[in-house]
Amino acid sequence: MSKANSAENEKPATSLGEPGAAAHVDGGDNGSGPNAEADEYNELLASLGRTYDQDCRVAVHEAGHIVAARLLGHPLGGATVDPDPNGKYGGLVWGPRHSVAYGRDDDLDEVPEICDKLREMMPADGEPRTDAADIYLHALNRCIELVAASVAERMLLDGEPVPSVSDVEHAMKYASLVCKSPEAADRFVRLCEAMADDLLRPYGDVVIALSTVLRTKRTLNGREIDKIIWDVETRKALAIEHRRRAEWRKAEVDAERFRAQCVATLPQRRHVLHQTRCVISDTDDQMARRT
């Protein structure tokens, strides 16, 4: 989410680049020219009370949530960069069975309540943690998804991210499941930020593509999100394959040129070799006569 009082509870996206998604999402064309579209976009921003830079930041923020969730194998229901009329959020990502990101719109305290209940089930000191492994992994993945939004902003935009209170609060709640002290929880969140950066950096182009389409269409469902991701990854794979084939063809041309040069100089090299053998033979004969 991208606003200080936003609500983000449970559930985020399938695997990035998952087969079966189409290759392109068309933003639509109403027949108007680019100037008219720009005017319409500026009017929209004015009605939302946003600047262009603020809208870009919201889009990158939500795209960071999206890509992290998909990379971690979590399905998504959709995303929007339009704010809630009641000011609950500035942008939103939600799971396949929910109306808002990570939870339900009518239960804003779900994450704190879940974490409080799970904390009672966490093993005490000296107890085996095997049975709680799923909870530890859940907390790690959710923290990565939550902090990925600010990480994406740092990757692609100038300046520091605009704080999202809900992201920070929920990340600290999940961190408190596996850490005892606030200091340890803070270091756990920093670790998740490093892991989110490691996760997102190879897919910066996907974040850019998603944020661009989000600003254009304003809202995307889960299927449209997958189409955009699949399109970017497919184009990237095709570009890599084209480059590989071009390099292979260049290697073939260079090898053919080298072979032709060898064939062209073969008679000359044979003549030089013959002369060398004659000189060696004459030298051997002279040495034999001296002895």
Tokens of 112: 């704190």
- Among residues 210, 229, 248, which one ends one of the domains? 229
Mean local confidence (pLDDT), 71-92:
88
User: Could you give the CA distance from residue 189 to residue 172 in angstroms, rounded to a whole number?
Assistant: 7
The CATH number of the domain holding residue 187 is 1.20.58.760
In sequence order, what are the beta bridge partners of 220? 79
- The CA-to-CA distance between both ends of the chain, in Å, stands at 99
153 lies in the same domain as 267: no
Both structure tokens of 222: 């889960």
Cα(85)–Cα(44) distance, integer angstroms: 14
- Per-residue pLDDT band for 6 (boundaries 50, 70, 90) equals very low
Q: What H or E segment, with its residue span, contains residue 95?
A: none
Residues 204, 276 within the same domain: no
| Residues 175 and 243 occupy one common structural domain | no
- Token look-up 């009518």 returns 106
Helices (H), the chain: 34-48, 52-71, 110-119, 133-156, 165-178, 182-200, 204-217, 222-264, 266-290
pLDDT at position 169 over 80: yes
Instruction: Provide the pLDDT for residue 111.
Output: 67
Q: How confident is the model at residue 166 (pLDDT cuts 50, 70, 90)?
A: confident
- For the stretch 195-226, pLDDT in tens is 999 999 999 999 999 999 999 999 999 999 99
What range defines the domain where residue 273 resides? 238-290
What's the full length of the chain, in residues? 291
Between 36 and 86, name the one with better pLDDT.
Answer: 86
- pLDDT-based confidence at residue 88 (cuts at 50, 70, 90): confident
Tell me the mean pLDDT in the region 56-77: 94
Question: Are 213 and 252 contained in the same domain?
Answer: no
Asked, for residue 67, whether it belongs to a domain, the answer is: yes
pTM for the full predicted model:
0.70
CA distance 66 to 6: 16
Question: What pLDDT score does 209 carry?
Answer: 95
Q: Are residues 216 and 254 in the same domain?
A: no
